[in-house]
């Protein structure tokens, strides 16, 4: 019989991390939880509200429509950016001087701060002075994103595609260049056509990279705030009021901290659940 | 099935090689004739151009100069598909998302063969390769040797392939399975009688697999011959070194009046009488297998003894050169001063590296 020496001193070494995590995640999160189950009128006076705020939020028409808009936005953005990014990656050169040119050009949008992107597109799309607006109107199409919901959506989606397709493309490109030449050679020998090469070699080899791309783009687009806030401010009307924008309006505009806290937690749970769902679905056949 | 001829093949990876600069070329003017249905090996050290040659034959590369003929058809610029060859690569290439069955059927399906033809064919090949029990499994779950068998199966499944190429196919296989897979290959060759071309830097693989071995070095063919020819009569000292373990002893010598001498002793050799020229670097080549201890002969000192199983490798030193010999394990190793004798029939003279 041998008994292992118990030495718990190592916990002290982990303590700094615990403290860090506590301050940047647990404390804020618990504050939100705290607000979500209480009612306050300031002066640090709280009364117990139970699940009242949660019920309120879950039954609110306003939350439903914001959630729907948010889902629709993420859906559209993923449906465009993932195939487009993959397509761009497939056409990018694999060697030669153009590789670095492409990589730098592709990275540029990713380096621009969110609010600058919003401002850029705001100026581009302004009906009276914007280049984009002038061109579209010049084509005979009536376009004014400050008044037409469809035009506002079009502009926001276009902005997001411009800003983030590069990320998908760069991820896919990294995945593509890591496929050994022998696969392509074997495919040639086996008489595989371009489509078969894509379907049976490139796509399976890109699976992990694509999963990451989908997850990143989903989470980011589902939480989008700054760009939309700068570009449309959630308008016209509430046409582009996504969950994040609505949340800020409730929390900081109306100062309804209880409902805002409840909404934050529900929002968080939705993201967590959907990310898990995507991951599980995409990794389903990973029983190698 | 096809006879493969290579005529004055030259290849460079540079976009604009200078035809007068040999260094620009990884393959320097090669010509080979391979009969239909043979088993051939391309053997050489890493970087000698053997994989380049293989990829030129299979059509993955286009030669800078020269011709490749399949039967009488010039295929120098044809695609691998048009040439109808199969190739097994160094690292097993399988289609991860498919089952073993689908992997084997893939080359046929790409060519629009009917499923009713594919099914018996795939099953037959799976039977040959002992893959029947795994047919419905996902290919990605197999071990390296299983995957390599699939690659091979994809080559065998087409009944009309001109040739099957192997590019160091056993590199990633565990040693104890290497032997199995090697005998499987040999057996398959005897059964199917396809032309097989096997690239390797491992002499054991080349010599056990091939009827004829092409030894390459620095982008040139040094010798083409049967394993026995390469062993008994290397055309170049490089072949002598490269094949055999340990390699051939190469000793500086002089040749006068049709007689070779080393360290002041006349050495009986098989070909010294052929020598006519002068002022060349002359060497004696004799394999350790054909050196023995004798009462009289070349005086030498025993330097080192290494045990190699059934044999002991005895390293001696004579007149500043090292001479190795093999001694059966039941014989006593002499120490100190010894005398060595060479087997005349297996002692050759080389001038500037080449046999005279």
What is the spatial distance between Cα A257 and Cα B183, in angstroms, rounded to a whole number?
77
Alpha-carbon distance of A144 to B105, in angstroms, equals: 57
Decide which of A98 and B278 is more confident: A98
Chain A closest CA to B97's CA: distance in Å? 7
Residue A11: band (very low, low, confident or very high) from pLDDT cuts 50, 70, 90: confident
Residues of chain A with Cβ-Cβ distance to B59 below 8 Å are: 188
pLDDT score at A3: 63
Whether the link from the prior residue into A228 is cis, omega within 30° of 0, is no
For the cut 70, the answer to whether the pLDDT of residue B36 exceeds it is: yes
Chain A: which residues have CB within 8 Å of chain B? 180, 182-183, 185-186, 188-193, 196, 200-201, 204-205, 285, 287-288
Looking at the DSSP bridge assignments, the partners of residue B70 are B4, B73
CA separation for the pair B207, B214 (Å, rounded): 10
Residues pairing with B11 in the sheet: B27
Out of B60, B98, B138, the one facing A185 most closely (by C-beta) is: B60
Q: What is the mean pLDDT of residues B204-208?
A: 86
Q: Under an 8 A CB cutoff, do B96 and A189 touch?
A: no
User: What is the torsional sign of CA B66, B69, B74, B80?
Assistant: negative
**Chain A, nearest residue to B138 by Cα:** A288
CB B170 within 8 A of CB B90: no
Strand partners, B347: B286
**Sign of the dihedral defined by the CA atoms of residues A252, A256, A257, A262, in that order:** negative
Cβ(A222)–Cβ(A245) below 8 Å: no
- CATH number for A60-282 (one of 3.30.70.2860, 1.10.3720.10, 3.30.200.20, 3.30.70.20): it is 1.10.3720.10
Rounded average pLDDT over B119-142 = 87
Quick one: tokens of A9? Answer: 């001193």
Q: What is the pLDDT of residue B205?
A: 86
What are the structural domains, with CATH classification, of chain B?
Answer: 4-237 (3.40.50.300), 245-355 (2.40.50.140)
Give pLDDT tens digits for B280-317: 788 889 999 999 888 888 888 888 888 888 888 899 98
Task: Give the phi and the psi of residue B339 in degrees, each rounded to 5.
Answer: -120, 140
Averaged pLDDT for residues B70-99: 87
Which has more confidence, A1 or A98?
A98
Average pLDDT over residues A143-167: 90
Tokens at A24, concatenated: 């940047």
Give me the pLDDT at residue A73, please: 94
Tell me: pLDDT of A255 over 80.
no
CB B266 within 8 A of CB B347: no
Comparing alpha-carbon positions, the chain A residue that sits nearest to B91 is A182
CA A190, chain centre distance (Å): 40
Mapped onto helix, strand or coil, the DSSP state of residue A38 is: strand
% of chain B at pLDDT higher than 90: 7
Contact B151 A205 (CB under 8 A): no
pLDDT in tens, A20-51: 888 888 888 888 888 888 887 777 777 887 78
Cis peptide before A236 (omega within 30 of 0): yes
The H or E element containing residue B321 is: strand B321-328
Whether A122 shows a pLDDT value over 70: the answer reads yes
User: What angle is formed at CA A131 by the lines to CA A125 and CA A134, rounded to 5 degrees?
Assistant: 85
pLDDT for res A160: 93
- The verdict on a CB contact (< 8 Å) between A182 and B90 is yes
Test mutation, B52, B58, B95, chain A, max A CBs within 10 A = B95
CA A173 to CA A206: how far, in whole Å? 9
- Give me the percent of chain A exceeding a pLDDT of 70: 97
Q: And the tokens for A13?
A: 């070494």
For residue A142, which phi and psi values (nearest 5 degrees)? -75, 115
Per-residue pLDDT band for A285 (boundaries 50, 70, 90) equals: low
- Contact present, A262 and A242 (Cβ < 8 Å): no
**Residue among A185, A193, A200 minimizing CB distance to B95:** A200
Closest CA to A66 of A266, A202, A255: A266
Closest CA to B243 of B213, B263, B278: B213
Predicted confidence band of residue B279 (pLDDT cuts 50, 70, 90): low
Residue B219: which residues within 8 A CB-CB, separation 6 or more?
Answer: B25, B26, B27, B28, B48, B49
B237 close to B251: Cβ distance less than 8 angstroms? no
- Which pLDDT belongs to residue A273? 92
Collapse the DSSP code of B265 into the 3-class scheme (helix H, G, I; strand E, B; otherwise coil) and give the result.
strand
| Minimum distance, in Å, between the CA of residue A184 and any CA atom of chain B | 9
In this prediction, residues B159-167 reach a mean pLDDT of 86
Spell out which residues of chain B touch residue A95, defining contact as CB-CB under 8 Å. Answer: none
Which residue is associated with the tokens 């570009």?
A231
Q: What percent of chain B shows pLDDT beyond 70? A: 99
CA separation, residue B167 to residues B22, B161, B237, B247 (Å):
25, 17, 26, 24
- Quote the pLDDT of residue A2: 55
- Averaged pLDDT, A124-142: 85
What is the average pLDDT value for chain A, to the nearest integer? 87
Mean pLDDT of the region B197-210: 88
User: In this model, does residue B59 exceed pLDDT 80?
Assistant: yes
Query: The tokens of B191 are what?
Result: 């059964």
Q: Is the dihedral of CA A140, A145, A150, A153 positive or negative?
A: positive
Q: What is the mean pLDDT of residues A176-198?
A: 89
Indicate the DSSP class of residue B221.
E
pLDDT value of position A288? 41
Query: Closest chain B residue to A207 measured between Cα atoms?
Result: B97
A213's tokens: 């791309």
Partners of residue B118 in chain A, C-beta under 8 Å: none
Rounded CA-CA distance A272/A97 in Å is 42
Instruction: Write down the pLDDT at residue A89.
Output: 93
Q: What is the pLDDT of residue A87?
A: 94
């Amino acid at each position: 019989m041998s008994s292992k020496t118990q030495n718990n001193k190592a916990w002290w070494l982990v303590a700094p991390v615990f403290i860090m995590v506590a301050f940047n995640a647990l404390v804020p999160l618990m504050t939100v939880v705290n607000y979500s189950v209480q009612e306050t009128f300031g002066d640090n006076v709280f009364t117990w509200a139970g699940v009242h705020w949660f019920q309120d939020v879950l039954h609110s028409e306003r939350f439903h429509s914001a959630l729907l808009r948010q889902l629709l936005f993420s859906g559209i953005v993923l449906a465009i950016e993932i195939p487009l990014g993959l397509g761009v990656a497939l056409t990018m050169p694999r060697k030669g001087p153009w590789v670095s040119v492409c990589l730098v050009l592709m990275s540029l949008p990713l380096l621009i701060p969110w609010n600058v992107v919003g401002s850029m597109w705001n100026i581009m799309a302004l009906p009276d002075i914007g280049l984009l607006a002038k061109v579209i109107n010049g084509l005979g199409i009536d376009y004014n994103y400050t008044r037409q919901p469809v035009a506002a959506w079009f502009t926001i989606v276009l902005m997001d595609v411009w800003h983030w397709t590069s990320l998908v493309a760069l991820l896919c490109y990294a995945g593509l260049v890591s496929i050994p030449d022998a696969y392509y050679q074997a495919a040639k020998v086996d008489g595989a056509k371009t489509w078969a090469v894509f379907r049976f070699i490139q796509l399976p080899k890109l699976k992990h990279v694509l999963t990451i791309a989908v997850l990143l783009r989903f989470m980011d687009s589902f939480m989008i705030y700054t760009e939309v806030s700068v570009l449309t401010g959630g308008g016209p009307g509430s046409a582009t009021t996504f969950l994040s924008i609505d949340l800020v309006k409730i929390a900081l505009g109306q100062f309804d901290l209880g409902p805002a806290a409840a909404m934050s937690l529900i929002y968080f749970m939705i993201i967590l659940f959907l990310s898990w769902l995507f991951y599980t679905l995409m990794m389903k056949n990973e029983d190698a | 099935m096809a006879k493969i001829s290579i005529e004055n093949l030259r290849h460079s990876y540079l976009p604009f090689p200078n035809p007068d600069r040999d260094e620009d070329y990884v393959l320097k003017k090669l010509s080979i004739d391979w009969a239909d249905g043979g088993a051939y090996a391309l053997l050489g050290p890493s970087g000698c151009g053997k994989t380049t040659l293989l990829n030129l034959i299979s059509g993955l590369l286009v030669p800078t100069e020269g011709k490749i003929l399949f039967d009488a058809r010039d295929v120098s610029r044809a695609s691998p598909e048009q040439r109808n060859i199969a190739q097994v690569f160094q690292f097993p290439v399988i289609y991860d998302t498919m089952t073993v069955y689908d992997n084997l059927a893939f080359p046929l399906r790409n060519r629009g063969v009917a499923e009713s033809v594919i099914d018996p064919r795939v099953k037959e090949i799976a039977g040959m390769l002992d893959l029947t029990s795994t047919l419905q499994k996902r290919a990605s779950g197999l071990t390296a040797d299983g995957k390599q068998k699939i690659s091979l199966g994809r080559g065998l499944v087409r009944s009309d392939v001109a040739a099957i190429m192997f590019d160091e196919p056993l590199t990633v296989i565990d040693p104890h399975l290497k032997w199995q897979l090697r005998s499987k290959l040999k057996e398959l060759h005897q059964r199917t009688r396809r032309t097989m071309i096997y690239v390797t830097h491992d002499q054991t693989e080349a010599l056990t697999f091939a009827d004829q071995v092409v030894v390459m070095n620095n982008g040139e063919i040094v010798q083409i011959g049967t394993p026995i020819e390469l062993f008994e009569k290397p055309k170049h000292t490089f072949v002598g070194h490269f094949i055999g373990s340990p390699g051939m002893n190469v000793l500086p010598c002089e040749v006068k009046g049709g007689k070779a001498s080393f360290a002041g002793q006349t050495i009986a050799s098989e070909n010294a009488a052929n020598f006519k020229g002068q002022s060349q670097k002359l060497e004696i080549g004799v394999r350790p297998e054909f050196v023995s201890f004798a009462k009289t002969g070349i005086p030498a000192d025993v330097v080192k003894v290494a045990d190699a199983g059934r044999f002991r490798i005895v390293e001696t030193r004579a007149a500043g050169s090292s001479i190795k010999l093999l001694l059966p394990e039941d014989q006593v190793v002499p120490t100190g001063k010894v005398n060595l004798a060479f087997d005349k029939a297996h002692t050759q003279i080389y001038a500037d590296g080449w046999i005279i």
